[in-house]
Amino acid sequence: MLSPSGLTHTRSAQTAAQLGAIARTHREARGLGLRQAAPLGGVGVRFLSEFERGKETAELGKVLAALNGLGLDLAVMPREDRPQAPASGLSQRLGMAFPYDWSNSRMDEATFIRLVLGARRFDDVLKLVGHFGIDRVSREVPQLDDQQTIARAAEMLARIYQGMLLAQSEPRDELAA
C-alpha cells in the first residue's frame, strides 16, 4: 500500500481524522519527523501534530500548506456512489454526537469502533461500549493510529470499566433510593 514516497494511490477522506491520518502516514513513510515536516509547509509543529490527529477546527489554509509541504494535493470529487445526506448508520442509531459513518452506513464494526475511539469523545465511547461491550471495543485499541490516541482510548475505557465495577458493587436498594 505504501511506497517510499508515502502513497501508491489516491486516498479519500471524509473526516478531519482521516485526512490527518493520510498526511501522517505520508510524512512517516518519507522518514520525516514533525519538526522536519512542519517548516516544509510553513506551519508550526503543534499545528501539524493537531492536524494529523484530526483536529476538527484546523484552519483550512494551514491544512493546505501542510499538505503542500508534504508533497500532497487535496482534490475535491463528487460522491457519485455515496449518499449525499447523512446515512442512518450506527452513529444515528446510537445517538452519537458526531456521525462517524455519515458516508458509509454499511461500515464494518471494527472501522466504526476505531473512528469513534480516535475522535476521543467520551460520551460517544460510552455509547459504543454500551452497544458493543467493553471487551469488543478494547480489542480495537491496539489498531489505532498513534500512541497518543491509544493512550487516550485506554484511559477512557479504564474510566468506563471503573464505573462499571462501581455500579456492580453498589447495593441495589441504595440505587433505588
59 shares a domain with 101: no
Q: Is residue 83 part of a domain?
A: no
CATH of the domain at 28: 1.10.260.40
Q: Is residue 3 part of a domain?
A: no
119 shares a domain with 57: no
Closest CA to 129 of 163, 152, 105: 163
* Residue spans of alpha helices (H) in 42-121: 45-52, 60-69, 90-94, 109-119
pLDDT for position 142:
93
| Domain extent for 120 | 90-172
Q: Is residue 81 part of a domain?
A: no
* Structure letter (DSSP) for residue 122: H
CA 49 → CA 6, 53, 129, distances in Å?
18, 6, 28
Tally of domains in the chain: 2
63 shares a domain with 100: no
pLDDT for position 83:
43
Q: What is the pTM of this model?
A: 0.48
162 shares a domain with 102: yes
CA 141 → CA 81, 144, 146, 154, distances in Å?
30, 6, 10, 7
Give dist(CA 65, CA 72) in Å, integer. Answer: 10
- pLDDT tens sequence for the chain (177 residues): 334 444 445 677 778 888 888 888 889 889 999 999 999 999 999 999 999 988 889 999 999 999 999 999 888 877 655 444 444 578 887 888 777 777 776 788 899 999 999 888 888 999 999 989 999 999 999 999 889 999 999 999 999 999 888 888 766 555 554
Which of left, alpha, beta for 138 (phi over 0: left; psi -120 to 50: alpha)? alpha
pLDDT for position 113:
92
pLDDT for position 82:
46
CA 177 → CA 95, 169, 170, 171, 173, distances in Å?
29, 16, 12, 11, 7
Give dist(CA 80, CA 86) in Å, integer. Answer: 14
pLDDT for position 56:
87
